[in-house]
Structure 1
Amino acid sequence: MPLSIDAWPLPYEERLASRPSSAIDLVVIHCTELPDMAMAREFGERIHYAGTQTGNSGHYYVDRDGKIFRFVADTRVANHTYGYNPRSIGIELVNIGRYPHWGDSRYQAFTVPYTAEQITALRALLAQLRNDHPTLRWIAGHEDLDRRLEPAKDDPTIMLRRRQDPGPLFPWDEVMADSGLERLSPP
């Protein structure tokens, strides 16, 4: 039975650069760090790049109930991970993360676990992507690839990691168990 994915293309999807399936060798796992799918969608629709009239978004979003949405086609380059977009597919898991205190040093802990439904849906999505893109070999968390630091909003003498997703509550062992993918660990 084919995986159920709801196509919900972003208004600017056609303005994103295209690429062949053979260019895709990496999946990046993200946490929305927003409370729900509605806010994730609203953020995805925002224009952040005036020149191209595009924004920041993953390709797929997995809601807490396991429902999967596709915001950007696999053969389009979505803006989700600095330096890795042309080769990767971004998967966002709806989770509150550090919302709304991303830059406050006192609120850096992730406290809400991912749901069993999300992880089951993610594993099925990864299997589908491996089938669709034979060159797909690697998987990483956003935190693995974007290690830039920025000053904390509450105390600029404290440097915080910009990206900490999918975070310490993400069940890597369970996701990797039969994924056929290898963890990418950049230098």
Structure 2
Amino acid sequence: MQRSTSRISGVFFILYFALFPAASAFAEEPVEPAEPDSLVIAGHFEISSPERRALTREYALSHYGLDDWRLVEPSMLIIHYTGTDSDRYSLDVFAPVRLSSARGDIESGGEVNVGVHYVILRDGSVWSLLPEDEMGRHAIGYNHRALGIEMTGSSAERITAEQIASCAALAADIAFRHPSLRYIVGHHEYMEEGRPHLAEFAELRSDYPPTVKRDPGEEVMSRIRDILARDYSVVR
């Protein structure tokens, strides 16, 4: 009886793979990134202006040798947290065109204020600040190559599950719309030795070295990357 059952099973599998030859190779096929659902932008806190673009152009020329304020074919997405638990302040800090005198750590780099493309508030709502084709100021050595996302939060522990889910969804949306995007990194990772994205680094001024960062932290980035891989087939 056992021998007869084995013979029948063998015949079944031979017929199955004869009828469906692609089935055995299905798992070997690369998985294309899934198109994310339409991302809802909760609000626009526009910080772009002719004056900011002019100052950004000066910054880009000084640091990258680029006489332009435009961000063309971004290769990176850098994720940060704002250092405050206030949603209001997380937006307002980017509003001035010129850098605050309180930013003595980076004031030698230029007059243009810090700026990113998106801020994610504590409830997970996504706010747009800069157009994606405009350079921000959020990561020394990479602003000419990188889009930037900030999440309201004073520490990694203060980042909410809603923010992490929204950040992953936004990152997937950006990756889908920008085929040039190769790297999604946390700010704390931006100067880590051995990282492939270091090939994108550029800084003409030896008196303006990168600063040490700890946001958003390994745990936050791990959770974001897990969602990107699981729900959107995005691995960067």
- Which residue matches 1:104? none
State the shift of 1:90 in Å: 0.7
Summarize the Cα distance change of 1:51–1:144 in structure 2 as closer, same or farther, 3 Å threshold.
closer
Q: In the alignment, is residue 19 of structure 1 matched against residue 71 of structure 2?
A: yes
Q: SS in structure 1 opposite 2:181?
A: coil
- Which residue matches 2:142? 84
- Which residue matches 2:45? 8
Percent identity between the two aligned chains = 25
- Which residue matches 2:190? 145
1:28 equivalent among 60, 78, 81: 78
What is the rounded CA distance, in whole Å, between the counterparts of 1:146 and 1:32 in structure 2?
19
1:175 equivalent among 220, 224, 227: 224
Q: Please, which moves more after superposition, 45-54 or 71-80?
A: 45-54
Summarize the Cα distance change of 1:164–1:52 in structure 2 as closer, same or farther, 3 Å threshold.
closer
> What is the number of equivalent residue pairs in this alignment?
153
What is the rounded CA distance, in whole Å, between the counterparts of 2:223 and 2:110 in structure 1?
38
Q: Which protein has the bigger helix share?
A: 2
Where do 1:92-131 residues align within 5 Å? 92-97=150-155, 112-131=157-176
Aligned AA (1:45): A
2:216 equivalent among 150, 166, 173: 166
- Which residue matches 1:154? none
- Which residue matches 2:89? 39
State the shift of 1:11 in Å: 4.9
Q: Is the 8 A contact 1:141 1:166 kept in 2?
A: yes
State the shift of 1:173 in Å: 2.8
Summarize the Cα distance change of 1:52–1:7 in structure 2 as closer, same or farther, 3 Å threshold.
farther
Q: C-alpha offsets along residues 106-158 of structure 1, whole Å, 9 cap, x if unaligned?
A: xxxx5x342111111111101110121111110111111257xxxxxxxxxxx
Gaps of 5+ in 1: 98-109, 148-160, 183-187
Query: Structure 2 length normalisation: TM-score?
Result: 0.58
Q: Is the 8 A contact 2:85 2:158 kept in 1?
A: no
Q: Which protein has the bigger strand share?
A: 1
RMSD between superposed Cα atoms in Å = 2.5
What is the rounded CA distance, in whole Å, between the counterparts of 2:186 and 2:76 in structure 1?
10
State the shift of 1:52 in Å: 7.8
Aligned AA (2:49): Y
Q: C-alpha offsets along residues 17-40 of structure 1, whole Å, 9 cap, x if unaligned?
A: 1132x2x01110101001212111
Bigger CA radius of gyration: 2
Q: C-alpha offsets along residues 24-71 of structure 1, whole Å, 9 cap, x if unaligned?
A: 011101010012121112211231179986310221111110000111
Which portions of structure 1, spanning 4 or more consecutive aligned residues, are displaced by more than 4 angstroms? 49-53
- Which residue matches 1:54? 112
Aligned AA (1:7): H
Gaps of 5+ in 2: 1-36, 57-68, 100-106, 193-210
State the shift of 1:80 in Å: 0.2
State the shift of 1:93 in Å: 0.8
